[in-house]
């Protein structure tokens, strides 16, 4: 291989200069995207059990409670909502999917479940590694940030600011602090 080909090969295989990439860590972003998609798939699998428990007047079976626990765990702490990715939100593919079908739906579902006699205690007793409260803050932050650039997020925010009017993030925003 000639020297010019070796230099071309070296340039093509060497990592990009962080100054040129805007400090994006592609491996981290891809990993977060894959982990988020995995959690989304898991959430879609277990979500119907939550709806069954919500619409069933009798006590849920032990299996249903465990499936609801799995669904709640799957819909919390999605990596793409972490502060690390705040500057990269516009680069996320399928913004509609994450904004409307995922985060908006999860926020409404968690709100409704928090008032259910069976699911409310289950949701509030989840361990710290699932942290529904932290997830609600992360998803509200996503919607707040995306409402400026995405009309659907702006539409969703109109509902969320009413539903979560007592949440600190919404109070601060409505009070003019943010």
**Domain extent listing, the chain:** 21-174
Residue with tokens 């979560």: 164
Residue 38 clears pLDDT 90, i.e. is over it = yes
At 118, list the tokens: 């069976």
Residue 15 clears pLDDT 60, i.e. is over it = no
Higher pLDDT, 174 or 125: 125
In this prediction, residue 142 has a pLDDT band, given cuts at 50, 70 and 90, of confident
Q: Are 64 and 53 in contact (CB under 8 A)?
A: yes
pLDDT value of residue 119: 93
At 36, list the tokens: 């988020």
pLDDT value of residue 90: 62
pLDDT value of residue 114: 93
| Highest mean pLDDT of the ranges 54-58, 86-90, 128-132 | 54-58
The number of angstroms, rounded, from the C-alpha of 137 to the middle of its chain's C-alpha atoms is 10
Q: 3-state class of 2 per DSSP?
A: coil
Q: What percent of the chain has pLDDT over 70?
A: 74
Among 144, 153, 175, residue whose Cα is nearest residue 101? 153
At 171, list the tokens: 């109070």
The angle subtended at Cα 45 by Cα 40 and Cα 48, nearest 5°, is: 115
pLDDT value of residue 178: 43
Q: Write down the mean pLDDT value for the chain.
A: 80
Average pLDDT over residues 82-92: 70
pLDDT value of residue 68: 95
In this prediction, residue 66 has a pLDDT band, given cuts at 50, 70 and 90, of very high
pLDDT value of residue 23: 53
Q: Are 142 and 103 in contact (CB under 8 A)?
A: yes
């Amino acid at each position: 291989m000639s020297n010019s080909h070796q230099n071309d090969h070296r340039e093509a295989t060497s990592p990009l200069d962080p100054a040129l990439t805007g400090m994006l860590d592609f491996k981290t972003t891809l990993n977060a995207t894959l982990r988020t998609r995995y959690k989304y798939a898991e959430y879609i699998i277990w979500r119907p059990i939550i709806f069954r428990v919500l619409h069933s007047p009798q006590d849920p079976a032990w299996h249903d409670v465990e499936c609801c626990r799995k669904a709640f765990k799957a819909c919390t702490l999605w990596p793409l909502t972490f502060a690390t990715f705040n500057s990269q939100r516009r680069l996320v593919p399928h913004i509609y999917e994450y904004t409307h079908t995922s985060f908006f739906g999860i926020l409404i579902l968690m709100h409704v479940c928090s008032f259910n006699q069976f699911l409310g205690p289950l949701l509030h007793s989840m361990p710290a590694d699932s942290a529904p409260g932290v997830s609600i803050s992360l998803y509200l932050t996503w919607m707040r940030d995306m409402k400026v650039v995405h009309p659907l997020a702006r539409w969703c925010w109109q509902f969320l600011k009413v539903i979560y009017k007592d949440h600190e993030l919404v109070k601060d925003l409505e009070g003019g602090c943010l």
